[in-house]
Structure 1
Amino acid sequence: MKELIDILNRKRIDFTIDGDKISVGGSLYLEGTGITALPDNLSVGGYLDLEGTGITALPDNLSVGGSLYLRGTGITALPDNLSVGGYLDLRGSSITALPDHFSCEGLYLDPQRISNVAYRENCGYSSRTIFAVWNGSEFRIAAGCFYGTLDEFETAVDEKYSGSAAETYKKAGQDCVSELTEKLNKAA
């Protein structure tokens, strides 16, 4: 806890302490600070950028109101029940599996590195990578900045594309969900 408090004071970032909980109302950019660990019960109201830090594990009861960026960290796993109010960006991280239960508004990752997703590359006109994840309660589809259920994905595709382009995207999403279902059933 002391290491983070020293950094917050040095950067003149407002924070509060309530018992064993540190709350930062705004965003927290920690690259170049030399920090190696975050305290349990940390709450960050804005984004939390850990890119290039020496942090190797996320703390228990971490709350991030904005986006969470983990590129270039040694973090290898996400805690169960992680809640991120914005984007969860795992690209370029050492994470190889998603937790059983997590929530976020958008998900960016290198799908070929994550064992519990199914994906299709070079889909449609934009050559997008589309992938399916299980977040503990439902399947979600990610494609570029889109992140939502299969039904929401299909509706968004129909609003933006028509004809074979729409069908290609929707089939890719459906195939990802089918493949991930099979993968998860084998693991159970």
Structure 2
Amino acid sequence: MDKRLPALIDLMGASKVRFFFTPDGILVVRGHLDLRGSGISLLPDRLVVAGSLLLTGCPLGELPAMLSVGEVLDLKDTSITVLPPGLTVWGPLFLENTPLSTLPAGLKVNGYLNICGTAITHLPPDLQLSGPLLLDAQRIRSPLAWRRVTLPACQPGEGEEWCAAGEEIQLIIFSVRLAGEIKISAGGFYGSPAALARSGIGAPLLPAAQDCLRELTGRKATASS
């Protein structure tokens, strides 16, 4: 038996988490596995979690090989330095405030990917992402183009009870190339250039987004000439 199993099984038993082993020894958790605050530092290889796997604040230095998570994988505030090969995440992946410096090739995330507060500077060209990407644009060198936009100070309108009057808001607008496709993030919008054209967003977000798009496409044209 994997020496990492007993501690995890004890925790699941105490929390009444349903699980089973397949004939070839894969541990399958039927629902969510919430290990926040548990102090667990190791997980067994060949672990499948049908729901979410929540590990915020756990003293984990690594994840098991071939980990599969059916919904959210939350690694915030852990000591994870590398993601394992074969990682499958069928929902959002939260990596903020970890010392992670790279993302593995072939990573596929069916939801949000949050890499704010990490040491990541490059995005793998084959990264597949179906949801919004949250990042520190100033830190990412490729493949990304970004602009900082300052929104005018808010003025309370008639009938409004509260407004942060006099406070300017700064937003980061960016375009990024992922798995051969360009995605644009502008305020509450995240999607393709075609979707941007249909979105109806106005100035100053739209001009900034268009500038980012031109810069990113221009780089590709220069590289291929």
TM-score range, shorter chain: 0.7 to 0.9
1:26-37 matches, within 5 Å, as 26-37=51-62
Partner residue in 2 for 1:155: 198
- Paired letter, 2:141: S
Q: Is the 8 A contact 1:30 1:49 kept in 2?
A: yes
1:5-154 matches, within 5 Å, as 5=5, 8-12=8-12, 13-14=17-18, 19=24, 21-104=46-129, 105-116=131-142, 117-122=144-149, 127-154=170-197
Structure 2 stretches of 5 or more lacking a match? Answer: 27-45, 153-168
* TM-superposed deviation, 1:64: 0.9
Structure of higher CA gyration radius: 2
Q: Is the 8 A contact 1:150 1:173 kept in 2?
A: no
TM-score, length basis structure 2: 0.70
Worse overlay, 5-14 or 109-118 = 5-14
SS of equivalent to 1:93: coil
- Paired letter, 2:135: L
Q: Is the 8 A contact 1:83 1:103 kept in 2?
A: yes
Structure 1 stretches of 5 or more lacking a match? Answer: none
Q: Is the 8 A contact 1:139 1:150 kept in 2?
A: yes
Q: Is the 8 A contact 1:54 1:74 kept in 2?
A: yes
Identity value in percent: 37
Partner residue in 1 for 2:208: 172
* TM-superposed deviation, 1:82: 1.1
- Paired letter, 1:133: V
TM-score, length basis structure 1: 0.82
Q: Given the superposition, is the C-alpha separation of residues 184 and 86 from structure 1 closer, same or farther in structure 2, using an over 3 Å criterion?
A: same
SS of equivalent to 2:138: helix
- More helix by proportion, 1 or 2? 1
